[in-house]
């Protein structure tokens, strides 16, 4: 009896040892690729990638045996038990899987996750870049002399010192004294060099090419560098014909024959006095100071305050008559600037006679509304003649009768006054006008809301 008990105890100890050996916790290395374990035994039952499989210890190791049709495999190698021929569009990787990317080392369900040595993985596995993922050689011409690579786009983003990035193909190119190019042709040269378009070379700025940016024929400059402009002799000179630039970068003195324009954005040199702004290349004025108009005939700024045909003028093309008036004035049929649109004859900017279909009011402005004496604009009346009210509905002055006789402005569709004549108030109840001349509670009142005491 005692012997049987000892045997049972030893057997139990043996079984316990075997169980402990089987259910030992997995090492960190073995557990790396396990994504699902048995919660009772703690053994791995599913590994992360197609290329790994659960081993006898409950971990993940090695490439699993090649199975036709598994992971896009078409033919297995009998010796290595790895896939050697993949389906069309897929390539065997070094772990026995298949990837749709050539030169791939590790794949997961056809997607490459690691390239072979000397290859980099380009692209992203998103719907935007589907099919763009590939393993690209770091020795490719695209990356020659490249210092930094944009992995997502698969292009060089920064070149090594002494090379510049070509914007046409994003390759690093070495061209003497060039800082920017497009499709192999230089666009911008280094500082103190200008671009000669004849042979696409950068040459040192000197002589007539001082401050030059580009030449087409090698005889004269065609584009000046920033901050410089052409003078009358075709040389690149400091800001707008300036002979002296201050610490702020603005011109302080113009060359002989030029004057400061009045532009507050950046003072510039122009050939004309009383000029507000000038062309940066030619120095010609295109906007004059207040009270001056630009005469394109000789490029001069002339007074527009004198009593002549150019009063209130802004621009005259031929010097014969005005073509553009200052703000608030209009070009009339008499070729003069007047205070109203639709004017036929004016004197000193004040209209004296309107064109056909327009009527002259007491404010000397033309309005298309008959019987209007003060207008807001050519189509809206502010006040009609006596005994007329302004109908807002059809924009007409109508003879006032019956209940509208004291109204100044009427909404005819709603049969209501919106403004009364002087010495009348508007009753908001019936929207009609009543006298407020007499002393009483509504004396000098403009608006009332009552049902009685009218």
Cβ–Cβ < 8 Å for 26, 58: yes
Average pLDDT over residues 46-74: 64
Predicted pLDDT at 129: 42
**Could you give the CA distance from residue 159 to residue 163 in angstroms, rounded to a whole number?**
6
d(CA 304, CA 316): 11
Q: What are the tokens at 38?
A: 């048995």
With a pLDDT cut of 90, the percent of the chain lying above it is 5
For position 231, what pLDDT does the model report? 58
pLDDT of residue 69: 66
Sequence spans of domains, the chain: 290-363, 386-454
What band does 453 get if pLDDT is binned at 50, 70 and 90?
very low
16 band by pLDDT with thresholds 50, 70 and 90: very low
- Range in 4-18, 135-149, 233-247, 361-375 with the lowest mean pLDDT: 4-18
Gap between the Cα atoms of 230 and 210, Å rounded: 12
User: Could you tell me what percent of the chain has a pLDDT over 70?
Assistant: 74
Which of 139-148, 178-187, 336-345 has the least mean pLDDT? 178-187
Query: Mind listing the pLDDT tens digit for each residue in 287-334?
Result: 888 889 888 888 888 888 887 778 888 888 777 778 888 888 998 888
**pLDDT at residue 77 greater than cutoff 80:** yes
Pairwise pLDDT comparison (364 vs 3), residue with the higher score: 364
Q: Does 141 score more than 50 pLDDT? A: yes
Residue 271 pLDDT grade (very low, low, confident, very high; cuts 50, 70, 90): confident
* Position 353 confidence tier, pLDDT thresholds 50, 70, 90: very high
CB atoms within 10 A of CB 347: 14
């Amino acid at each position: 009896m005692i012997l049987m008990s000892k045997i049972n105890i030893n057997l139990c100890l043996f079984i316990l040892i075997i169980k402990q050996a089987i259910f030992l916790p997995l090492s960190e290395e073995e557990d790396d690729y396990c994504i699902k374990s048995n919660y009772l035994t703690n053994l791995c039952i599913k590994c992360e990638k197609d290329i790994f499989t659960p081993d006898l210890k409950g971990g993940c190791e090695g490439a699993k045996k090649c199975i036709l049709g598994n992971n896009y495999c078409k033919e297995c190698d009998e010796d290595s038990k790895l896939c050697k021929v993949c389906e069309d569009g897929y390539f065997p990787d070094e772990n026995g899987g298949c990837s749709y990317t050539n030169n791939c080392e590790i794949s997961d369900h056809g997607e490459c996750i690691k390239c072979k040595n000397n290859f980099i993985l380009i692209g992203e596995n998103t719907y935007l870049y589907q099919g763009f993922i590939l393993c690209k050689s770091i020795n490719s011409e695209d990356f020659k002399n490249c210092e930094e690579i944009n992995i997502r786009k698969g292009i060089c983003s920064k070149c090594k010192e002494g090379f510049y990035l070509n914007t046409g193909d994003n390759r690093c190119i070495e061209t003497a004294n060039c800082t920017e190019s497009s499709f192999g042709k230089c666009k911008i040269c280094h500082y103190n060099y200008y671009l000669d378009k004849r042979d696409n070379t950068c040459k040192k700025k000197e002589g007539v090419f001082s401050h030059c940016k580009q030449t087409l024929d090698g005889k004269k400059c065609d584009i000046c560098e920033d901050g410089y402009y052409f003078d009358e002799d075709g040389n690149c000179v400091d800001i707008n014909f300036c002979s002296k630039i201050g610490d702020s970068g603005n011109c302080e003195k113009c060359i002989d024959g030029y004057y400061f324009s009045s532009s507050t954005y950046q003072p510039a040199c122009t050939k004309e006095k009383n000029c507000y702004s000038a062309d940066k290349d030619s120095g010609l004025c295109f906007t004059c100071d207040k009270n001056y108009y630009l005469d394109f005939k000789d490029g001069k700024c002339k007074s527009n305050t004198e009593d002549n045909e150019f009063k209130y003028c802004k621009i005259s093309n031929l010097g014969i008559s005005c073509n553009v008036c200052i703000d608030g004035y209009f070009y009339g049929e008499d070729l003069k600037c007047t205070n109203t649109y639709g004017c036929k004859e004016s004197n000193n900017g004040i209209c004296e006679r309107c064109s056909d279909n327009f009527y002259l009011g007491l404010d000397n402005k033309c309005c298309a509304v008959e019987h209007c004496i003060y207008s807001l604009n050519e189509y809206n009346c502010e006040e009609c003649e006596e005994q007329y009210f302004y109908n807002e509905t059809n924009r007409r002055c109508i003879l006032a009768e019956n209940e509208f006789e004291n109204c100044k402005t009427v909404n005819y569709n709603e049969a209501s006054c919106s403004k009364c004549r002087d010495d009348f108030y508007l009753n908001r109840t019936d929207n009609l006008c009543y006298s407020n001349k007499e002393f009483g509670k509504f004396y000098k009142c403009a608006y009332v809301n009552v049902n009685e005491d009218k």
